[in-house]
Amino acid sequence: MSDETLKSGVVFPAGLFGGEAALCSLIEKAPVGIAMHDRDGRIEYLNARFTSVFGYTLADIPDKAAWAAAAVPDPAERAVMMARWSESLRQARESGGDIPPVEFRLARKDGSLRNVMVSGRLQDDKAFVMFEDITDRVRAETVLREREATLRRVLEQAPVAMAIHDMAGVIEFLNAKFIAAFGYTREDIPTLEAWTLRAYPDPAYRAGLLEMWAGWIKNSVETGREMPGGEYRVTCGDGSVKSVFITGIVTGDGKVVSILEDMTARAEAERALRESESLYRALVETTRTGYVVLDMEGRVTDANREYVRLSGHSDLKQIMGRSVLDWSAPHNKKEAWEAVLLAVRDGKVVNFELDYSGPSGALIPIEINATLVERDGQARILGLCRDISDRRRAREELLSLNRGLEKKVESRTSELIQAQKMEVVGRLAGGIAHDFNNILAAIAGSADLLSLSLPEDAPAAAQVEDILKAASRGSALTRQLNTLSRRGEVRAEKLDLGAAVESACRMLTRLMGAGVRLERELPPVPLIVTADPGQISQVVMNLVINARDAIAGEGSISISVGRVELPPGRAGMKLPAPAGSYAVLSVRDSGSGMAPEVMSHLFEPFFTTKPEGKGTGLGLSIVYGIVARLGGGIEVESAPGRGSGFRVYFPAS
pLDDT value of residue 526: 92
Instruction: Tell me the pLDDT tens digit for each residue of 272-327.
Output: 666 766 666 677 777 788 989 999 999 999 999 899 999 999 899 999 999 999 99
Instruction: Tell me the pLDDT tens digit for each residue of 39-95.
Output: 888 999 999 999 999 999 999 999 989 999 999 999 999 999 999 988 888 888 888
**Do the beta carbons of residue 617 and residue 496 sit within 8 Å?**
no
Higher pLDDT, 485 or 212: 212
- Mean pLDDT across the chain, nearest whole number? 84
**Are residues 450 and 336 located together in one domain of the fold?**
no
Global model pTM greater than 0.75: no
Give the pLDDT band of residue 627 (cuts 50, 70, 90): very high
Instruction: Tell me the pLDDT tens digit for each residue of 396-433.
Output: 888 877 776 666 656 656 655 665 555 555 555 555 65
pLDDT at residue 245 above 80? yes
Is the residue at 392 inside a domain? no
List the beta strands (DSSP E) in 82-139: 98-107, 113-123, 126-133
Q: What CATH number did the domain enclosing 339 receive?
A: 3.30.450.20
- Count other Cβ atoms within 10 Å, centred on residue 29: 9
| Structural domain range at position 547 | 490-653
**Are residues 8 and 127 located together in one domain of the fold?**
yes
From 438, 464, 488, the end of a domain falls on 488
pLDDT at residue 460 above 80? no
Mean pLDDT along residues 193-197: 93
- Provide the 3-class DSSP secondary structure of residue 148: helix
| Strand partners of residue 649 | 584, 633
**Are residues 639 and 530 located together in one domain of the fold?**
yes
Is the residue at 129 inside a domain? yes
pLDDT at residue 394 above 60? yes
Is the residue at 635 inside a domain? yes
pLDDT at residue 501 above 80? yes
Instruction: State how far the Cα of 185 lies from the Cα of 427, in Å rounded to an integer.
Output: 56
Is the residue at 187 inside a domain? yes
Task: Select from 309, 323, 317, 312 the least CA-distant residue to 360.
Answer: 312
pLDDT at residue 472 above 90? no
Higher pLDDT, 612 or 213: 213
**Are residues 508 and 641 located together in one domain of the fold?**
yes
For strands 633-638 and 644-651, give the pairing.
antiparallel
Q: What CATH number did the domain enclosing 639 receive?
A: 3.30.565.10
pLDDT at residue 463 above 80? no
Is the residue at 287 inside a domain? yes
Q: Up-side HSE of residue 138: CA atoms within 13 Å toward CB?
A: 12
Which positions ≥6 away from 586 have C-beta within 8 Å? Answer: 558, 559, 560, 561, 562, 645, 646, 647, 648
- Provide the 3-class DSSP secondary structure of residue 299: strand
pLDDT value of residue 559: 95
**Are residues 615 and 652 located together in one domain of the fold?**
yes
Give, to the nearest 10 degrees, the angle between helix 619-629 and helix 461-485.
40
SS3 of the chain: helix, strand, coil, percent, to 5: 45, 25, 30
**Are residues 157 and 237 located together in one domain of the fold?**
yes
Is the residue at 482 inside a domain? yes
**Are residues 519 and 605 located together in one domain of the fold?**
yes
From 457, 488, 519, the end of a domain falls on 488
Number of folded domains in the chain?
5
Instruction: Tell me the pLDDT tens digit for each residue of 531-575.
Output: 988 888 889 988 998 899 888 888 999 999 999 999 987 888 889
CA 8, 14, 18: angle at the middle one, nearest 5? 95
Q: Any idea how long the chain is?
A: 653
Which positions ≥6 away from 406 have C-beta within 8 Å? Answer: none
Whole-number percent of the chain with pLDDT over 70:
84
Q: Classify each residue of 103-122 as buried b or exposed e, where b means 16 or more C-beta atoms within 10 Å of its C-beta.
A: ebebbeeeeeebbbbbbbeb
- Count other Cβ atoms within 10 Å, centred on residue 551: 20
Higher pLDDT, 473 or 562: 562
Instruction: State how far the Cα of 157 lies from the Cα of 340, in Å rounded to an integer.
Output: 39
**Are residues 10 and 51 located together in one domain of the fold?**
yes
pLDDT value of residue 420: 56
**Are residues 505 and 628 located together in one domain of the fold?**
yes
pLDDT at residue 485 above 90? no
Instruction: State how far the Cα of 587 lies from the Cα of 536, in Å rounded to an integer.
Output: 13
Is the residue at 623 inside a domain? yes
Instruction: State how far the Cα of 195 lies from the Cα of 186, in Å rounded to an integer.
Output: 9
pLDDT at residue 7 above 50? no
Instruction: Tell me the pLDDT tens digit for each residue of 168-180.
Output: 999 999 999 999 9
Give the pLDDT band of residue 20 (cuts 50, 70, 90): low
pLDDT value of residue 126: 86
* Helix (H) or strand (E) segment spanning residue 381: strand 378-387
Give the pLDDT band of residue 265 (cuts 50, 70, 90): confident
From 488, 509, 534, the end of a domain falls on 488
**Are residues 348 and 481 located together in one domain of the fold?**
no
**Do the beta carbons of residue 311 and residue 329 sit within 8 Å?**
no
**Are residues 502 and 477 located together in one domain of the fold?**
no
Give the pLDDT band of residue 582 (cuts 50, 70, 90): very high
Instruction: Tell me the pLDDT tens digit for each residue of 103-142.
Output: 999 999 999 999 999 999 888 788 889 999 998 888 888 8
Q: Is 60 exposed, middle or buried (0-12, 13-18, 19+ CB in 10 A)?
A: middle
User: Quick one: CA dihedral 623, 626, 629, 635, positive or negative?
Assistant: negative
**Are residues 423 and 309 located together in one domain of the fold?**
no
Q: What CATH number did the domain enclosing 427 receive?
A: 1.10.287.130
